[in-house]
């Protein structure tokens, strides 16, 4: 599927409508996508095999004091979302790419999510593309289903929030990144973009790829904008992240 380059106004509309945490409704509208193919399924299965090997043999990274993660390496797996409510799917694809070296396409993720039962709700993780729910309050996917999708690729992960304060917060993110663990954060998109929209509820998934404590910058692979390695100040990121009680999905430590 061609990558969509969005202007600022369109990006704001996409981000503000994107993804909801379990029990948190939001509004989104979607377009059509191509049907599933056998080739897409085969490619997804191959990625799962690679993930097991990659987690058993993690690539080494050079540690630099005050810098965590490798945003330059992660940037190659960024992709833009082309629908209003599939940033969670594209973020999962990004993480799969970072771990296995091969990211599934947006189309492959749509096919997978439409055919995989949700771990929290009746029906599939992502509603069929002609389903009216894509323009209603239940559009997108649940945070818990990111774990289900990653598991399909052989990648173990877990949800963490401020209910476990020793496992979240900026210091925890730094340590996850230092250990080559991948992070999908649930944030408020308007705060990230400094846009004029609601700023009290989380509505968007993105991948945290690096933190630089010297410059106070957080590096993001954000599927709702038109480039990889978006950089925002720590204060901005924390404000956006607090709207979800610092909810993340983080992959297991490489063996």
Question: Please, what is the average pLDDT of the chain?
Answer: 82
Task: With beta carbons less than 8 A apart as the criterion, state whether 23 and 212 touch.
Answer: no
pLDDT tens per residue, range 161-218: 999 999 999 999 999 999 999 999 999 999 999 999 999 999 999 999 999 999 999 9
Residue 127, pLDDT above cutoff 80: yes
Looking at residue 255, what is its pLDDT?
A: 80
Reported confidence tier of residue 73, pLDDT bands at 50, 70, 90: very high
Domain boundaries, the chain: 8-251
- Report the alpha-carbon distance of residue 232 to residue 192 in Å, rounded: 7
Task: With beta carbons less than 8 A apart as the criterion, state whether 165 and 189 touch.
Answer: no
Task: With beta carbons less than 8 A apart as the criterion, state whether 210 and 67 touch.
Answer: yes
Nearest by Cα to 73 from 81, 61, 57, 64: 61
Write the Ramachandran bin of 245: left for phi over 0, alpha for psi from -120 to 50, otherwise beta: left
- Report the alpha-carbon distance of residue 145 to residue 165 in Å, rounded: 22
Residue 251, pLDDT above cutoff 60: yes
Dig out the tokens for 210 from the structure.
Answer: 């690096």
- pTM (two decimals): 0.79
Task: With beta carbons less than 8 A apart as the criterion, state whether 195 and 16 touch.
Answer: yes
Cα angle vertex 234, ends 78, 95, to 5°?
25
Looking at residue 144, what is its pLDDT?
A: 97
Task: With beta carbons less than 8 A apart as the criterion, state whether 139 and 121 touch.
Answer: no
Q: 8-251 in CATH: which number? A: 3.90.70.30
Dig out the tokens for 41 from the structure.
Answer: 């399924």
Reported confidence tier of residue 51, pLDDT bands at 50, 70, 90: low
């Amino acid at each position: 599927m061609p990558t969509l380059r969005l202007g600022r106004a369109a990006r704001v509309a996409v981000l503000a409508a994107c993804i909801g945490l379990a029990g948190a409704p939001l509004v989104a509208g979607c377009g059509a996508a191509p049907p599933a193919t056998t080739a897409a399924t085969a490619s997804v299965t191959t990625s799962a095999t690679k993930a097991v090997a990659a987690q058993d043999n993690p690539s080494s990274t050079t540690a630099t004091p005050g810098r965590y993660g490798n945003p330059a390496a992660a940037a190659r797996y960024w992709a833009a979302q082309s629908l209003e409510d599939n940033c969670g799917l594209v973020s999962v694809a990004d993480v799969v790419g970072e771990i296995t070296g091969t990211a599934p396409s947006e189309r492959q993720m749509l096919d997978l999510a439409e055919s995989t039962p949700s771990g929290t709700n009746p029906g599939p993780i992502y509603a069929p593309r002609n389903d009216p729910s894509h323009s209603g309050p239940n559009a997108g996917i649940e945070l818990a289903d990111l774990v289900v999708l990653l598991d399909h690729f052989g990648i173990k992960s877990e949800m963490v929030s401020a209910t476990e304060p020793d496992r979240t917060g900026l210091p925890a993110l730094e340590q996850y990144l230092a250990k080559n663990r991948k992070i999908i954060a649930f944030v408020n998109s308007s705060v990230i973009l400094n846009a004029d929209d609601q700023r009290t509820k989380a509505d968007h998934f993105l991948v945290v790829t690096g933190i630089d404590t010297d410059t106070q910058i957080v590096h993001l692979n954000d599927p709702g904008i038109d480039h990889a390695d978006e950089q925002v100040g720590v204060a901005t990121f924390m404000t956006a992240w607090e709207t979800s009680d610092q909810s993340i999905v983080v992959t297991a430590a490489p063996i």
